[in-house]
């Protein structure tokens, strides 16, 4: 079973999508299997990360922005703004697909884990993710 979910972002940051993915898993009525999530964009990515302390997400965002700055004069792909090429690099360094086991009808995440869409562009967007549930 495959569903598409849309996540509206307001700019750079980590947006938790655990609940949206869990709804798809629940509606699939799959007790044991695998859930695959894929973001259908080249300037956003996916991440499983701590969902308890927001400082973790802020630190990750700051770290990645330092690693991949917007003002690199070597970028040639600049037609869509100064954050475009860095967003593609950030996506290449992170993940666009996640696989999560389904155990007893629920996502097999740890106590403090959440699924996040990581928006790398400064402007908001409607990001589409495919959620595939395989028994």
pLDDT in tens, 80-126: 999 999 999 999 999 999 999 999 999 999 999 999 999 999 999 99
Domain CATH code at residue 33: 2.60.120.460
**Cβ(43)–Cβ(91) under 8 Å?**
yes
Residue 18 confidence (pLDDT): 98
Mean pLDDT (the chain, rounded): 97
- If one counts the domains in the chain, the total is 1
Residue % of the chain over a pLDDT of 90: 98
Residue 103 confidence (pLDDT): 98
Residue 121 confidence (pLDDT): 98
pLDDT band at 40 (very low <50, low <70, confident <90, very high): very high
Residue 32 confidence (pLDDT): 98
pTM of the model: 0.96
Residue ranges making up the domain that contains 109 = 2-134
Alpha carbon distances (Å) from 105 to 10, 30, 94, 101, 115: 32, 6, 28, 10, 17
């Amino acid at each position: 079973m495959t569903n598409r979910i849309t996540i509206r972002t307001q700019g750079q940051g980590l947006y938790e999508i655990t609940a949206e993915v869990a709804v798809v898993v629940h509606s699939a009525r799959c007790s044991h299997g695998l859930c695959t999530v894929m973001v259908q964009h080249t300037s956003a990515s996916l991440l499983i990360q701590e969902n308890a302390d927001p400082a973790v997400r802020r630190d990750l965002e700051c770290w990645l922005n330092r690693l991949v700055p917007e003002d690199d004069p070597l970028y040639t792909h600049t037609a869509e703004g100064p954050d475009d090429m860095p967003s593609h690099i950030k996506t290449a360094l992170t993940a666009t697909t996640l696989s999560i086991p389904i155990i007893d009808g629920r996502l097999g995440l740890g106590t403090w884990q959440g699924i996040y869409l990581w928006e790398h562009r400064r402007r908001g967007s409607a990001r589409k993710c495919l959620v595939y549930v395989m028994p």
